Amino acid sequence: MAGIPEGITRVESIFSKFPGIGRKSARRIAFYLLNKDRDEIIQIAKALVDLKDKITHCPVCNHITEHIPCDLCANTKRDDSILCVVEDSMDVIALEKSVSFRGKYHVLGGLISPLDGVGPDDLAIDSLMQRLDKVKEIIIAINPSVEGDTTTFYLSRLLKKHPIKITRLARGIPVGGDLEYTDEATLARAIEGRIEIPNE
């Protein structure tokens, strides 16, 4: 379109491909950046390249990190006997934010998905198998989906050979959730997994 400098259009089309950003937000961002000092833009550009250059995967748990082993693996206060297996590093961060798990993690780096050509060999499953020595419990914390369920099934079958307790996260009504607005599948899971209220 006439009247829009190419530089704006380019930045717009980059940002509109980012998750959660539409064309209009992308344009607002381009103008926001145009009003920044050059130094600030250089800092932003550098942070993006650093993201790629400095972050690697922990050879133990496969979580993203800037040093080896990662903070979580290096932390001797965390319980080595419980492993939480997750799809990706975002799940680790979400669980860490809940401050409810003090064991260690293992990041698969994806889910088994034959349609996308992702098999067990593409995931960090071998490295998981090599960590089982001290492990007494494995929590499979994988989102429920076709790929998630396939991966959970594959892992649980593989892990059955070892004397390890295998658990999954509870499903039910979220805290603050409302029965009325909860979908049927979640309600069914919540009833299935009901817990006795202890007599006091």
Q: Is the dihedral of CA 120, 122, 125, 127 positive or negative?
A: positive
Q: Per rule CB under 8 A, is residue 10 in the interface with a second copy?
A: yes
Q: Which stretch binds a second copy (CB under 8 A): 93-101, 111-119, 143-151, 174-182?
A: 93-101
Which of 23, 59, 68, 75 touches a second copy (CB under 8 A)? 75
Beta strand pairing status for 165-168 and 137-140?
Answer: parallel
* Number of chain residues interacting with a second copy (CB under 8 A): 55
The answer to whether residue 68 forms part of the interface with a second copy (CB under 8 A) is no
The count of other CB atoms within 10 Å of the CB of residue 50 is 11
- Closest Cα to residue 73, out of 88, 61, 56, 89? 61
Question: Phi/psi of residue 174, each to 5°?
Answer: -65, 150
174 binds a second copy, rule: CB under 8 A: no
Contacts with a second copy, residue ranges (CB under 8 A):
1-8, 10-11, 14, 18-21, 25, 27-34, 36, 38, 41-42, 44-55, 63-66, 70-72, 75, 88-90, 92-93, 96-97
